[in-house]
């Protein structure tokens, strides 16, 4: 008995000594490692981005009530990085400037014919009709909120994916009438991506349409413009679509604030970027008329 | 070796041969039973004796359908053993207690009774009788895993008798039992004998064999060396059954 | 014959419910589902589809685990514990024994599914506007017949493969592989040259297409019911595969020495 206790004691003492030594070595090693952020980053490393992408795509699939476009072989020119759910937000933006978008063409593309009886039979067991949740889906009532969990998971896994925040904000504020939640989510995104012009733009939209705080909205847009010039400007292929949106909204808000001069300035900037300069020119002329 | 057939044959082995495949190409197949011819008659208590590796278990396994004979046949009540109907009137008590430990005794007996096609009322009545016989009425609702070895052996006896079999095959029925247990098994065998049942069992307890058996055979090296009633054998060879057993086995092992 | 098969099935079911595995799996499934149900997404209490999807995924994992682990150990455990000997000493054929084991394992899976889908229905109803009972019935019934295919295959595998663990692992991988990739093999085949194309096409036509029994997407997104004729055809398809696997198992088992 005494011998066993002695051996046990010796073993414990050895373990304790080894642990102390290893702890010291670990601290030296950890000092040299780059600081890690969230638990997800620590556990998953960069593979979390893949999962984040997957969950973002999942949100799009939910938008289509489970319809996987790739299963049916059609819609090959899928909007890069997003899907119809995100594309729907951009359609909304293009209402003033253009008619159809690519998405509407994709939407009506017929699925490929099944290659054999197995595939034909199999299609009866999963969604095989292209619907959108905001058009009522198969259940004939709006259920857009169903995409939110996947967007939230996507943002948690990849907080640097800007689209997750902007798409969520659109659906939350414009369709689900939850502007406060949209703003909170955008601010979360801004925290992870300081000074991002897309997020600032969306925040300005909420300030203008929901809070009716035009001054705050303009401030946000001006900041977005400055950040765009800083971040996007130097790029080989800058996001000019976002710049159009910023100028367009600035012009609109300045008009509402009664500052026509500033509005015209912004419209002139927009004209050089817009694919429909004649429509913009018309707006400039209207404003100049009103000024008179 | 011929055997006497004076009444209805219940178990018949006809040139039964059992061999196991060789373990390697250079080795010969192992022949466990070499052309056994044996008939057990109705109402007999038959002792099937032999040293370990003599072929007793292989013979029993063929009879029970666990093993196919290499050649030859075996029949129970005139039905070939490959037909499951040959086991309709059969009861089997294995050497070790191979029963579902998560069932209790009542559930186990109901299960086996159903396999014999007994209806619910018949099973209830029979199970009651058997639990009294094997003295397990009080422990009947406990799972079998909580039973002692002796109790599990008694469950085994009960399941072997559930269908009121005409033929009972017992593999070392008193193995591992205390004297009380052995006495109980002996009395059950005697009772079955009085009821006209046929009992075919293997055992190393030669004292018991002498007491209960009508006839015995001694197997060695896959062949039946000796067959007859206990009295006949003892008077013929002028020795006890145990001495005869040792002599037969020693003769078989002696170099030619 | 049926009473013998039913008796063996009954003992198999009793065994499953006297082991602790099922309860542990059920508790884990419920716990994880409730954790996901407790997450707040933008203060919206009507979101239900993600919860249905996650719970269904857990149910599928749990049911596959139960089906494969139950079926894989049936015959090997009987042989190992030697309970097969007093059993086959009764007037029962090996085929009846096999059918009884299959029926018991499959019914046990059915009971497990009833409990799990019942939990799902209750959980979803806390947020959904109606019960959708017929949808759950279709999904659960097809899920159950799919498990029949898996159980039959595993029982066949237990007679062919050396150990229950290898049988279980191989079956699990095959089942998941078929669910994820089976439907796409025809597209893969088209992209190959011969003889690869013929080989892949052969596999595509031979494997049981388990995706016919996966109604999760329809259930999650509240699509209308599958046509009852289609549902019935899927069941017939499953029955054919079950018959093939059990026939093969019976042929192997009849020749197999027990000792």
Q: Check whether C20 has a pLDDT greater than 60.
A: yes
Q: Is A136 left (phi over 0), alpha (psi -120 to 50) or beta?
A: left
Q: Which pLDDT value is given to residue B255?
A: 62
Contacts of B98 in chain C (CB under 8 A): 81-86
- Residues A212, A153, single domain; the answer is no
- Residues A243, A148, single domain; the answer is no
Q: Which pLDDT value is given to residue A72?
A: 56
Interface check B128 vs C, CB under 8 A: no
Contacts of C82 in chain B (CB under 8 A): 94, 96, 98
Interface check B85 vs C, CB under 8 A: yes
A33 pLDDT band, cuts 50/70/90, is low
DSSP-derived secondary structure for A123-188? GGGS--S---GGGTGGGTS--GGGGHHHHHHHHHH-TT-HHHHHHHHHIIIIIS--HHHHHHHHHH
Q: Which pLDDT value is given to residue C250?
A: 95
Q: What is the mean pLDDT of residues C83-88?
A: 93
B4 pLDDT band, cuts 50/70/90, is very low
Q: Check whether B118 has a pLDDT greater than 90.
A: yes
CATH code, residues B9-89+165-253? 3.40.50.300
Q: Check whether A103 has a pLDDT greater than 60.
A: no
Q: Rounded to the nearest 5°, which phi and psi values hold at C161?
A: -85, 155
Q: Which pLDDT value is given to residue B30?
A: 86
> To the nearest whole angstrom, how far is the Cα of A71 from the nearest Cα of chain C?
9
Q: Which pLDDT value is given to residue B2?
A: 42
Q: What is the mean pLDDT of residues A149-168?
A: 93
Supply the range of the domain harboring residue A289: 195-292
A24 pLDDT band, cuts 50/70/90, is confident
Q: Which pLDDT value is given to residue A98?
A: 30
A109 pLDDT band, cuts 50/70/90, is low
Q: Which residue of C has its CA nearest to B143?
A: C18
Give me chain C's average pLDDT, please.
92
> To the nearest whole angstrom, how far is the Cα of A121 from the nearest Cα of chain C?
8
Q: Which residue of C has its CA nearest to A138?
A: C223
Q: Check whether A253 has a pLDDT greater than 90.
A: yes
> To the nearest whole angstrom, how far is the Cα of C87 from the nearest Cα of chain B?
8
> To the nearest whole angstrom, how far is the Cα of C162 from the nearest Cα of chain B?
18
Pair C53, C220: CB distance under 8 Å: yes
Query: In percent, how much of chain B has pLDDT > 70?
Result: 96
- Cβ contact A–B (≥3 pairs, < 8 Å): no
Q: Check whether C95 has a pLDDT greater than 90.
A: yes
Chains in contact with B, counting 3 or more C-beta pairs less than 8 Å apart as contact? C
C8 pLDDT band, cuts 50/70/90, is very high
Q: What ipTM does this complex have?
A: 0.86
Q: Which residues are within 8 A (CB) of C159 and not within 5 positions of it... i.e. 6 or more apart?
A: C75, C249, C252, C253, C256
- C259/B98 Cβ within 8 A: no
B5 pLDDT band, cuts 50/70/90, is very low
Chains in contact with C, counting 3 or more C-beta pairs less than 8 Å apart as contact? A, B
Query: Taking Cα atoms as reference points, which of A164, A88, A176 lies closest to residue A132?
Result: A88
> To the nearest whole angstrom, how far is the Cα of B87 from the nearest Cα of chain C?
5
Interface check C189 vs A, CB under 8 A: no
CA dist C48 and C45 (Å) reads 8
Q: What is the mean pLDDT of residues C194-200?
A: 92
CA dist A87 and B76 (Å) reads 80
Tokens found for residue B26: 């250079």
Q: Which pLDDT value is given to residue A102?
A: 44
CA dist B4 and C180 (Å) reads 70
Contacts of A146 in chain C (CB under 8 A): 47-50
Nearest to C221 among A66, A121, A149 (CB): A66
Q: What angle do CA A237, A106, A178 make, to 5 degrees?
A: 75
Q: Which residues are within 8 A (CB) of B44 and not within 5 positions of it... i.e. 6 or more apart?
A: B10, B198, B199, B214, B215
Judge if pTM exceeds 0.90. Answer: no
Whether residue A208 lies inside any domain: the answer is yes
Contacts of B112 in chain C (CB under 8 A): 86, 90
- C15/B87 Cβ within 8 A: no
Residue contacts between A and C (CB atoms, under 8 Å): 88
Strand partners, B16: B36
**Over the stretch A262-281, which tens digit does the pLDDT of each residue have?**
999 999 999 998 898 999 99
Q: Which residue of C has its CA nearest to B156?
A: C86
Q: How many CA atoms lie within 13 A of A88 on its CB side?
A: 19
CA dist C90 and A75 (Å) reads 64
Lowest-pLDDT range, A67-71, A228-232, A282-286, C174-178?
A67-71
- C224/A138 Cβ within 8 A: yes
Lowest-pLDDT range, B42-46, B172-176, C200-204?
B172-176
Pair B184, B156: CB distance under 8 Å: no
Interface check C48 vs A, CB under 8 A: yes
- Residues A199, A264, single domain; the answer is yes
- B87/C91 Cβ within 8 A: yes
In sign, the C-alpha dihedral spanning C120, C123, C128, C130 is positive
Query: What element of type H or E holds B192?
Result: helix B179-194
Nearest to A115 among C46, C186, C212 (CB): C186
Domain total for chain A?
A: 2
Q: Which residue has the higher pLDDT, B85 or A131?
A: B85
Strand partners, B198: B167
Strand partners, B93: B170
Tokens 């297409």, residue located: C209
B1 pLDDT band, cuts 50/70/90, is very low
Strand partners, B39: B12
Whether residue A44 lies inside any domain: the answer is yes
> To the nearest whole angstrom, how far is the Cα of C140 from the nearest Cα of chain A?
13
- Residues A132, A209, single domain; the answer is no
Q: What is the mean pLDDT of residues B202-208?
A: 84
Q: Check whether B196 has a pLDDT greater than 80.
A: yes
Q: What is the CATH number of the domain that holds A247?
A: 1.25.40.10
CA dist C42 and B249 (Å) reads 88
Q: What is the mean pLDDT of residues C217-236?
A: 93
- Residue B150, Cβ density class (10 Å: 0-12 exposed, 13-18 middle, ≥19 buried): middle
- A143/C215 Cβ within 8 A: no
Query: Taking Cα atoms as reference points, which of C212, C64, C121, B124 lies closest to residue A124?
Result: C212
Nearest to B102 among C14, C88, C91 (CB): C14
- Cβ contact C–A (≥3 pairs, < 8 Å): yes
Contacts of C178 in chain A (CB under 8 A): none
Contacts of B96 in chain C (CB under 8 A): 82
- A148/C223 Cβ within 8 A: no
Q: Which residue of B has its CA nearest to C93?
A: B84
Interface check C50 vs A, CB under 8 A: yes
- A62/C221 Cβ within 8 A: yes
Interface check C230 vs A, CB under 8 A: yes
- B102/C15 Cβ within 8 A: yes
CA dist B64 and A291 (Å) reads 110
* Rounded CA Rg of chain A: 26
Whether residue A20 lies inside any domain: the answer is no
Q: What is the mean pLDDT of residues B191-212?
A: 88
Query: Taking Cα atoms as reference points, which of A175, A167, A183 lies closest to residue A133?
Result: A175
- A126/C187 Cβ within 8 A: no
Contacts of A66 in chain C (CB under 8 A): 217-218, 220-221, 223
CA dist C119 and C154 (Å) reads 27
Domain coordinates in residue numbering, chain B: 9-89+165-253, 101-164
Q: Which residue has the higher pLDDT, B3 or B180?
A: B180
Nearest to C91 among B61, B116, B169 (CB): B116
Q: Starting at the earlier edge strand, list the strands of the sheet with B215-220.
A: B90-93, B167-171, B198-202, B45-49, B215-220, B223-229
Chains in contact with A, counting 3 or more C-beta pairs less than 8 Å apart as contact? C
Tokens 């037909």, residue located: B83
Q: Check whether B191 has a pLDDT greater than 70.
A: yes
Helix locations, chain A, DSSP H = 2-32, 39-44, 47-63, 84-94, 102-107, 117-122, 148-157, 162-170, 179-192, 197-209, 214-231, 240-256, 260-271, 277-291
Contacts of C92 in chain B (CB under 8 A): 84, 115
Helix locations, C38-93, DSSP H = 49-81, 84-88
- C48/A146 Cβ within 8 A: yes
> To the nearest whole angstrom, how far is the Cα of C138 from the nearest Cα of chain A?
11
Give me chain A's average pLDDT, please.
82
Residues 149-178 of A with CB under 8 A from C: 149-150, 152, 172, 176, 178
């Amino acid at each position: 008995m005494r011998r066993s206790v002695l051996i046990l004691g010796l073993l414990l003492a050895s373990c304790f000594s080894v642990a102390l030594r290893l702890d010291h070595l670990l601290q030296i090693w950890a000092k040299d490692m780059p600081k890690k952020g969230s638990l997800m980053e620590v556990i998953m490393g960069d593979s979390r981005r893949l999962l984040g992408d997957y969950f973002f795509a999942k949100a799009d699939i939910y938008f289509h009530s489970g319809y996987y476009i790739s299963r049916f072989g059609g819609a090959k020119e899928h909007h890069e990085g997003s899907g119809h759910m995100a594309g729907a937000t951009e359609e909304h933006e293009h209402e003033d400037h253009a008619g159809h978008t690519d998405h509407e063409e994709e939407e009506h593309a017929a699925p490929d014919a099944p290659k054999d009886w197995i595939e034909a039979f199999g299609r009866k067991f999963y969604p095989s009709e292209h619907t959108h949740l905001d058009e009522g889906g198969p259940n004939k009532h709006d259920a857009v909120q169903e995409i939110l969990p996947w967007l939230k998971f996507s943002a948690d896994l990849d907080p640097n994916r800007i689209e997750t925040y902007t798409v969520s904000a659109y659906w939350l504020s414009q369709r689900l009438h939850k502007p406060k939640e949209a703003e909170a989510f955008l601010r979360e995104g801004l925290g992870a991506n300081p000074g991002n012009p897309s997020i600032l733009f969306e925040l300005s939209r909420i300030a203008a349409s929901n809070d009716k705080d035009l001054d705050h909205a303009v401030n946000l847009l001006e900041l977005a413009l400055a950040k765009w010039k800083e971040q996007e400007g130097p790029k080989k292929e800058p996001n000019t679509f976002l710049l159009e949106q910023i100028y367009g909204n600035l012009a609109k808000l300045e008009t509402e604030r009664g500052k026509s001069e500033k509005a015209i300035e912004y419209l002139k900037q927009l004209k050089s970027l817009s694919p429909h300069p004649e429509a913009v020119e018309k707006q400039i002329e209207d404003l100049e008329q009103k000024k008179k | 070796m011929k055997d006497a057939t004076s009444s209805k044959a219940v178990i018949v082995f006809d040139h039964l041969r059992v061999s196991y495949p060789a373990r390697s190409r250079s080795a010969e197949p192992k022949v466990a039973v070499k052309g056994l011819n044996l008939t057990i008659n109705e109402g007999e208590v038959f002792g099937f004796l032999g040293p370990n590796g003599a072929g007793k278990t292989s013979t029993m396994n063929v009879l029970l359908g666990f093993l196919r004979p290499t050649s030859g046949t075996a029949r129970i009540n005139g039905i070939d053993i490959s037909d499951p109907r040959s086991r309709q009137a059969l009861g089997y008590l294995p050497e070790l207690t191979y029963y579902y430990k998560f069932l209790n005794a009542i559930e186990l007996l109901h299960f086996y009774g159903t396999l014999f096609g007994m209806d619910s009322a018949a099973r209830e009545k029979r199970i009651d009788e058997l639990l009294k016989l094997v003295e397990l009425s009080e422990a009947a609702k406990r799972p079998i895993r909580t039973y002692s070895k002796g109790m599990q052996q008694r469950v085994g006896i009960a399941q072997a008798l559930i269908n009121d079999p005409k033929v009972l095959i017992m593999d070392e029925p008193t193995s591992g039992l205390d004297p009380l247990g052995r006495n109980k098994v002996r009395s059950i065998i005697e009772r079955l004998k009085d009821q006209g049942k046929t009992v075919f069992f293997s055992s190393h307890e030669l004292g018991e064999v002498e007491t209960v058996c009508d006839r015995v055979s001694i197997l060695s090296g896959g062949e039946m060396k000796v067959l007859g009633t206990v009295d006949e054998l003892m008077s013929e060879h002028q020795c006890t059954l145990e001495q005869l057993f040792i002599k037969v086995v020693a003769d078989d092992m002696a170099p030619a | 014959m049926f009473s013998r098969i039913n008796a063996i099935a009954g003992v198999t079911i009793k065994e499953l419910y006297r082991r602790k595995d099922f309860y542990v799996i059920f508790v884990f499934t419920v716990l994880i589902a409730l954790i996901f149900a407790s997450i707040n997404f933008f203060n919206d209490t009507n979101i239900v589809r993600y919860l249905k999807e996650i719970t269904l995924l857990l149910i599928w994992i749990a049911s596959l685990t139960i089906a494969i682990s139950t079926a894989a150990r049936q015959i090997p455990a009987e042989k190992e514990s030697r309970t097969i000997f007093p059993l086959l000493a009764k007037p029962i054929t090996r085929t009846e024994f096999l059918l009884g084991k299959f029926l018991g394992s499959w019914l046990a899976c059915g009971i497990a599914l009833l409990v799990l889908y019942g939990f799902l229905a209750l959980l979803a109803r806390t947020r959904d506007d109606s019960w959708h009972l017929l949808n759950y019935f279709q999904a659960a019934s097809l899920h159950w017949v799919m498990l029949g295919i898996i159980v039959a295959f595993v029982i066949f595998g237990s007679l062919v493969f050396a150990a229950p663990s290898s049988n279980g692992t191989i079956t699990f991988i095959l089942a998941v592989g078929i669910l994820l990739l089976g439907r796409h093999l025809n597209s893969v085949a088209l992209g190959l040259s011969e003889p690869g194309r013929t080989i892949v096409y052969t596999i595509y036509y031979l494997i049981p297409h388990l995706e016919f029994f996966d109604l999760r997407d329809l259930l999650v997104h509240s699509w209308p019911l599958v046509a009852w004729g289609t549902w019935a055809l899927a069941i017939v398809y499953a029955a054919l595969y079950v018959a093939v696997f059990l026939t093969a198992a019976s042929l192997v088992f009849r020749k197999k020495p027990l000792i």
